[in-house]
Structure 1
Amino acid sequence: MPTLSCGYKCLQFLLITFNILVFACGIALIVIGSLSQVAVNNYSTGIDSNIKGLVIFIIILGCFLFLLGFLGFCGACTKNTCCLTIYAILLSVMVAAEIGVGIAAAVLKEDVKTSFVSVVRNSVSEYSKNPDIQNLFDKIQTEFKCCGSESSIDYTSTGQSVPSSCTDSDTGLAYQEGCSNKIIAFFEKYLIAVVVAAFRIRYPSNIKYCFYCLYYSSY
């Protein structure tokens, strides 16, 4: 194996640093996805399957970035041909999938909103009839400090009384904001935004150049 020049060592250091960041991002996504999975399980009765699938996707994406960063780090440190080859394949897969995933994420975002609004609206209409929904929605309204789908009127308009979980303990008044917007905002902040941000991780031209130089010098 030829000795690396000073320039190649700089390229090697740049790749190592970059892949440490990718590795850390993968760990962060796995942690966020796992915590989100726990939250989804707590509300499993009323959560749409699209949301559950999105959480699983975040965990899978985190594992992918974890593996990508690990292989890139090991390959850059040891110039191992096997690691660099697998790394190149994963890079190609990520680049090829980026456009498709970006489009899918945009479509899924709107689908998630529609699904949530439908779930919350149906929960309100069945609140007094279904004990499971009642317990679930009481938890949601208490935790998110919201009432009904759009407002407390959602209860009165369906012939139901406004539940105590809708009431602010400090003022004694019903929460003004509906739960649909609160739940949507929660998932946009902690889930969808994470997926979009993760797929904005791009490999700049200079990083790709560094990789190609290191890859071909390993032979």
Structure 2
Amino acid sequence: MALGNCYTCIKYLMFAFNFVFWLLGCAILGVGIWLRADESVADFLKESSKMDTLYALAYVMIVIGFVIMLLGFLGCCGAIRESQCMLGAFFVFLFIIFAVLLGFGIWAAASKDSFREYTEDMLEEGVNKYYTDDKQRAFMDSTQNYFKCCGWDKGADDYEKGVDKGAPLSCESGTYDKPCNDEFFKWVENRLVLIAAVAISVALVLILGMAFSIILCCAIRDTLA
């Protein structure tokens, strides 16, 4: 069937949008894979089971990126074939992804304070269990070497609380004076900001895609009337 010149233009704009949309899906997928495969995570955070949350965020982004890539393909096919069914399904899925991404981005941006408490608890536990838990010792050694810090709040003094052995060698025999809490939180915060920025940006772009799909569906319906 043939659409009017205006609607034909919208059809190809829809196709172009979905190609860009597919590229955005690739970008989200890439960010998720990067977060999961980040060498700094692998080097010193894998020893802590409490970092499952950050890994979970990475897996969510991988899944969302893959779904967006599939939706981009669906939208392209719907636009070229002028299929109301495919375009309607595209709109519904876009709306669901929009709601998820927007909520996900807002949550990541607003949860910095809770993550500060989370990282403080993690480091405090690592210090308290340094000489009794092999995983906590590996986690703290890697963290202290990576950030060139010691302890979690008061530097080497944190290891003096109820422990006779004092600060470990990973504190470089006292040369790392600053506590790890601020540096570690900044590391986590930077990744939360990246997640929030990507999620909210893509969510805003989806509004354009939903508008295009509605306009094109209406155009196709009018030609069938």
TM-score by length of 1: 0.78
1:11–1:144 Cα change, 3 Å: farther
1:30–1:141 Cα change, 3 Å: same
CA shift, 1:84, in A, is 1.1
Confirm whether residue 33 of structure 1 aligns to residue 32 of structure 2: yes
1:108–1:64 Cα change, 3 Å: farther
In the alignment, is the contact (CA less than 8 A) between 1:166 and 1:175 conserved in 2? yes
Matched length? 214
In the alignment, is the contact (CA less than 8 A) between 2:102 and 2:199 conserved in 1? no
The separation in 1 between residues aligned to 2:72 and 2:142, in whole angstroms, is 39
CA shift, 1:37, in A, is 2.4
In the alignment, is the contact (CA less than 8 A) between 1:24 and 1:66 conserved in 2? yes
Confirm whether residue 183 of structure 1 aligns to residue 184 of structure 2: yes
Aligned counterpart, 2:167: 162
CA shift, 1:55, in A, is 2.4
Letter in 2 for 1:66: M
In the alignment, is the contact (CA less than 8 A) between 1:37 and 1:55 conserved in 2? yes
Structure 1: tracts of 5 or more residues without a match: none
CA shift, 1:103, in A, is 5.0
CA shift, 1:149, in A, is 1.1
In the alignment, is the contact (CA less than 8 A) between 2:126 and 2:136 conserved in 1? yes
Letter in 1 for 2:78: G
Aligned counterpart, 1:45: 47
The separation in 1 between residues aligned to 2:62 and 2:207, in whole angstroms, is 28
1:97–1:36 Cα change, 3 Å: closer
Aligned counterpart, 2:134: 131
Equivalent residue runs for 1:134-153 within 5 Å: 134-150=137-153, 151-153=155-157
Deviation string 1:41-68 (CA, Å, 9 cap, x unpaired) is 6533314243333222222222232233
Residue aligned with 2:97, SS: helix
The Cα RMSD (Å) is 2.9
In the alignment, is the contact (CA less than 8 A) between 1:55 and 1:191 conserved in 2? no
Deviation string 1:134-178 (CA, Å, 9 cap, x unpaired) is 1222122222333221333322445443223223xxxx8633443
The separation in 1 between residues aligned to 2:209 and 2:29, in whole angstroms, is 25
CA shift, 1:118, in A, is 0.3
1:173–1:12 Cα change, 3 Å: farther
Aligned counterpart, 1:9: 8
1:26–1:182 Cα change, 3 Å: farther
The percentage of aligned residue pairs carrying the same residue is: 24
Which protein has the bigger helix share? 2
Confirm whether residue 174 of structure 1 aligns to residue 175 of structure 2: yes
1:209–1:123 Cα change, 3 Å: closer
Aligned counterpart, 1:79: 82
Residue aligned with 1:175, SS: coil
The separation in 1 between residues aligned to 2:135 and 2:217, in whole angstroms, is 58
CA shift, 1:208, in A, is 4.3
Confirm whether residue 120 of structure 1 aligns to residue 123 of structure 2: yes
Letter in 2 for 1:63: F
The separation in 2 between residues aligned to 1:205 and 1:174, in whole angstroms, is 53
Aligned counterpart, 1:68: 71
Letter in 1 for 2:37: V
The separation in 2 between residues aligned to 1:53 and 1:125, in whole angstroms, is 26
Equivalent residue runs for 1:19-30 within 5 Å: 19-30=18-29
